[in-house]
Chains A and B, each alone.
Chain A
Amino acid sequence: MIIPDETGRPDESPISEPTPVVAAVPGIGGVPGAVRVIRREAVYFALRNKKLVGGLTVVLVFLLVGLFGPVFTGPDPLAYVGPPAQAPSGEYWFGTTTFGQDVFGQFAHGLRATFFVGFFAGLLAAVLGMLVGFTAGYRGGLVDEVLNMITNIVLVLPVLAVLLIIAAYLEVRSVQVQALIIGVFSWPWVARAVRAQTLTLRAREFVDLARLSGAPVRRIVFREIAPNMASYLFMVFILLFGGAVLFAATLDFIGLGPTDGISLGLMLNYSVKWSALHLGLWWWFIPPGLGITAIVGALYIMNVGLDEVFNPKLREM
């Protein structure tokens, strides 16, 4: 798994310095306009960045398959539709399982679960991490100490082990619960990174100006600090999305996935359980794993591309 950048770069901010035009207009009113300037330039480079566009395309393709595939393959991925253990053919694109289930149907349905968990777990972890990080960095003092301690504790806890224990005791597991528990334990590195960024930004002039003018804390956070970190937070979300997908697949593979339905990790579990390896039913275990690898890999590459877009120094000549 990718090691998040912040652990390696304590000082480096992926946020480029505001252009001189922007810096000349500090204060509450100025920032939205400044953000627009940054965004326009970002969009220009974003559309031209091969990694970003390529990665996004791959992710979108899988998303479309997940959204619309099941419409064609039928609502029940676990139905027995054909002769067992068939290799891929025109009729069954990914072949069938040892029970005669349509592998492609399972794949398409599984993608839905994958995207669902990735999105919501990533979102939850991002929100939690941001809240904790902002608060710790902005308030400082005792609040900071306490939040830091909590962050460190959750950080050191081996996530998979904890997920194991929780999932094992649950009678019924749904995709929502899975997303919930993954999200609840994935935020610490985000909190740390956000805290570091907040500390840097807090000391900047335009925040002091806002404070002097008596703006409430919430307003300062949302109007001054957050827009500057927007680009970074977006990249964080992408990493969290990828991480959640991997965690979910791992849980599913161990047998602690959603008790209903199908997912890519669960397909891997079934294929191993029912000796697909020994029987040579490669079409059963290659697509799901390939799908996960492709989606997560595309997300990581998108992230590298985004880093180049937001950090002009990285743009290649």
Chain B
Amino acid sequence: MTLRVTGLKVYYRTLRGDVRALDDVTFGVEDGEIMGVAGESGCGKSTLGKSLIRLDGRMRYVEGRVDLDYKELPIWDDADMNDFRYKEVSLIPQYAMSALNPTRKIGLMVRDLLESRGIPFDTVSAELERRLGLVGLDREVLGRYPIELSGGMKQRAVMVLATLLNPSLLIADEITSALDVSTQRAVAEALVGFRDNGFVDSLIVITHDISLVYQIADTIMVMYAGKLAEKAPTDVLVNSPRHPYTQLLISSLPEVGVRYEGKRLSGIPGSPPALLNPPSGCRFRDRCPVAFDKCGEEPPFVEIGPDHFAACWRAS
């Protein structure tokens, strides 16, 4: 499948005004691509993920266009969007461990969900059990209540549920944040397995952990303060980033095998601007070590190399 997002703006309504969480975002995802979306808290990556499947209470679609396989997704219309949910676009949420109804056996809940979407349970039950086996879950999990499963097991169950109908696009939102390292690896590998086995066409993996997406993503897109900072194939982004923010992010990662005394970890001093009334011009300006006059004018997100985009006057 192909995804094209053009000029997407999604704001949050608050008592004090609109928080411009996602402010004019344009990018594309190709068939079979795993794209990682990275950035610090509040950069808009979760908002982006949610916008593509379901705007929740406080979110407000402002403008922009999302095309899935050349069909426009009516993300502003909750009812129309329902035809696409789960079947074309699916989600593994950040709260996967509490995403299951605590008072319903898992198998019954899946059945209820499928039947309510017009899919007879029997047509997929065999496949469901097969996939559970693939992630290491026994089929008797379906006869259990969520409270009887461990966090990791619930996570995997939700992953299987989310991909059961072979969606074109799967959004994985911070799904490894609450896990220990070895489980993180298992989950990451499972994601890749979904793509390789054809259960999903393309993946958007949202995380604040660049080292995770480095392992599994084909492309990485870095966001900052509601805007896109840089997007490039993984190797290129990690080894030769051009946006100062990306550069600082990468350099603040600890390297394997290097002791702290040998090379200090550098953070990025300061914090992102508040998105209630964001400053004009480049939003990274105040923290950027190489900012200059022109940064008062907002840099466009342009191609600076083969498949390599950045929003920075210095980079282009």
B69-113 with Cβ < 8 A to chain A: none
- Residue A315 CB within 8 A of the other chain: yes
Name A45's closest neighbour in chain B (CB-CB).
B15
Name A11's closest neighbour in chain B (CB-CB).
B98
In this complex, the interface size class of chain B, counting residues with CB under 8 Å from chain A, is: under 10
- Residue A165 CB within 8 A of the other chain: no
- Residue A153 CB within 8 A of the other chain: no
Contact residues in A for B14 (Cβ distance below 8 Å): 317
Contact residues in B for A317 (Cβ distance below 8 Å): 13-15, 58
Chain B nearest CB from A281 CB (Å) reads 50
Residues 300-317 of chain A: 1 if any B CB is under 8 Å from the residue's CB, otherwise 0? 000000000000000101
Residues 5-34 of chain B: 1 if any A CB is under 8 Å from the residue's CB, otherwise 0? 000000001110000000000000000000
Contact residues in A for B13 (Cβ distance below 8 Å): 317
Docked CA distance A315–B13 (Å): 12
Docked CA distance A143–B58 (Å): 45
Residues 191-230 of chain B: 1 if any A CB is under 8 Å from the residue's CB, otherwise 0? 0000000000000000000000000000000000000000
Name A317's closest neighbour in chain B (CB-CB).
B13
Docked CA distance A317–B14 (Å): 6
Contact residues in B for A315 (Cβ distance below 8 Å): 15
Docked CA distance A106–B13 (Å): 51
Residues 274-317 of chain A: 1 if any B CB is under 8 Å from the residue's CB, otherwise 0? 00000000000000000000000000000000000000000101
Contact residues in A for B58 (Cβ distance below 8 Å): 317
Contact residues in A for B15 (Cβ distance below 8 Å): 315, 317
Docked CA distance A317–B13 (Å): 7
Docked CA distance A315–B15 (Å): 9
A95-149 with Cβ < 8 A to chain B: none
Name A315's closest neighbour in chain B (CB-CB).
B15
Chain B nearest CB from A37 CB (Å) reads 17
Docked CA distance A278–B58 (Å): 56
Chain B nearest CB from A317 CB (Å) reads 6
Name, among B13, B14, B15, B58, the residue most crowded by chain A CB atoms within 10 Å (CB to CB). Answer: B15
Docked CA distance A317–B19 (Å): 13
Docked CA distance A317–B58 (Å): 8
B27-82 with Cβ < 8 A to chain A: 58
Chain A nearest CB from B147 CB (Å) reads 12
Chain B nearest CB from A74 CB (Å) reads 50
Docked CA distance A162–B271 (Å): 60
Name B271's closest neighbour in chain A (CB-CB).
A20
Name A20's closest neighbour in chain B (CB-CB).
B41
Docked CA distance A315–B58 (Å): 12
Docked CA distance A138–B25 (Å): 50
Chain B nearest CB from A50 CB (Å) reads 13
Chain A nearest CB from B21 CB (Å) reads 15
Chain A nearest CB from B17 CB (Å) reads 12
Chain A nearest CB from B100 CB (Å) reads 15
Chain A nearest CB from B33 CB (Å) reads 34
Docked CA distance A79–B15 (Å): 55
Residues 226-249 of chain A: 1 if any B CB is under 8 Å from the residue's CB, otherwise 0? 000000000000000000000000
Docked CA distance A315–B14 (Å): 10
Docked CA distance A22–B215 (Å): 34
Chain A nearest CB from B251 CB (Å) reads 24
Chain B nearest CB from A260 CB (Å) reads 51
Chain B nearest CB from A12 CB (Å) reads 12
Chain B nearest CB from A129 CB (Å) reads 28
Docked CA distance A68–B58 (Å): 48
Name B12's closest neighbour in chain A (CB-CB).
A317
Docked CA distance A315–B16 (Å): 12
Docked CA distance A257–B15 (Å): 48
Residues 49-64 of chain A: 1 if any B CB is under 8 Å from the residue's CB, otherwise 0? 0000000000000000
Chain B nearest CB from A66 CB (Å) reads 36
Docked CA distance A175–B14 (Å): 48
Chain B nearest CB from A279 CB (Å) reads 54
Residues 76-98 of chain A: 1 if any B CB is under 8 Å from the residue's CB, otherwise 0? 00000000000000000000000
Docked CA distance A317–B18 (Å): 11
Chain B nearest CB from A8 CB (Å) reads 14
Chain A nearest CB from B101 CB (Å) reads 15
Docked CA distance A315–B57 (Å): 13
Chain A nearest CB from B276 CB (Å) reads 15
Chain B nearest CB from A22 CB (Å) reads 16
A143-185 with Cβ < 8 A to chain B: none
Name B13's closest neighbour in chain A (CB-CB).
A317
Chain B nearest CB from A308 CB (Å) reads 12
Chain B nearest CB from A253 CB (Å) reads 42
B114-168 with Cβ < 8 A to chain A: none
Name B41's closest neighbour in chain A (CB-CB).
A20
Docked CA distance A317–B57 (Å): 10
Residues 17-48 of chain A: 1 if any B CB is under 8 Å from the residue's CB, otherwise 0? 00000000000000000000000000000000
Docked CA distance A90–B294 (Å): 78
Chain B nearest CB from A220 CB (Å) reads 28
Chain A nearest CB from B117 CB (Å) reads 29
Chain B nearest CB from A97 CB (Å) reads 51
Docked CA distance A317–B15 (Å): 6
Chain B nearest CB from A245 CB (Å) reads 34
Docked CA distance A67–B76 (Å): 57
A169-222 with Cβ < 8 A to chain B: none
Chain A nearest CB from B233 CB (Å) reads 34
* CB pairs A–B below 8 angstroms (5 shown): A315-B15, A317-B13, A317-B14, A317-B15, A317-B58
Residues on A lying within 8 angstroms of B by beta carbon are 315, 317
> Which 5 A-B residue pairings sit nearest by Cβ, starting from the closest?
A317-B13, A317-B58, A315-B15, A317-B15, A317-B14
